[in-house]
Amino acid sequence: MLFYSIGVYVGTNWITPDLDIISTPTNKHGFIWKLFWTPYRWAHKHQGVSHTFMGSLERVLYISPLFLITFALTGWNKLVLIISAGIVFGIIVANIAHVTLDKIVILIIY
Ligand SMILES: [Zn+2]
């Protein structure tokens, strides 16, 4: 539950569907973070595929090298794999909540 919660936090504040534009999650974590997500931003129009379930999976895939490096450095430790799965699940749930709320806001405004 702790790692899931961490994932929800990360998925709400760091790895969000709004990385497809220059947004708060893009800007508030520094230049390296902004640079890391630049190819992703170039490849996605705002609220396109990035704002779908596939977009969530795509972002997890985009950061997967970070997980793979961590797994390799820890010798594919089972605990690290379980922690990572909880974090990824939290990120995906937070991203789905984001997309759902975006759609609700669009429905209310238009
Ligand atoms: Zn959004």
Q: Is the pLDDT of residue 25 over 90?
A: no
Q: What is the pLDDT of residues 53-98, one digit of tens each?
A: 999 999 999 999 999 999 999 999 999 999 999 999 999 999 999 9
Q: What distance in angstroms lies between residue 100's CA and the mean position of ligand 1's atoms?
A: 9
| Beta strand residue intervals within 1-110, DSSP E | none
User: d(Cα 110, Cα 98) in Å, to the nearest integer?
Assistant: 18
Looking up tokens 């596939």 gives 54
Q: Which residues lie near ion ligand 1 (Cβ < 5 Å)?
A: 17-18, 102
Q: What distance in angstroms lies between residue 27's CA and the mean position of ligand 1's atoms?
A: 15
19: left (phi over 0), alpha (psi -120 to 50) or beta: alpha
Q: What distance in angstroms lies between residue 47's CA and the mean position of ligand 1's atoms?
A: 6
Q: What distance in angstroms lies between residue 98's CA and the mean position of ligand 1's atoms?
A: 6
Residue partners of 38: CB distance under 8 A and separation at least 6: none
Q: What distance in angstroms lies between residue 17's CA and the mean position of ligand 1's atoms?
A: 5
Domain ranges for the chain, please list them. 2-109
Cβ atoms within 10 A of the Cβ of 8, count?
20
Q: What is the pLDDT of residues 26-55, one digit of tens each?
A: 889 999 999 999 999 999 999 899 999 999
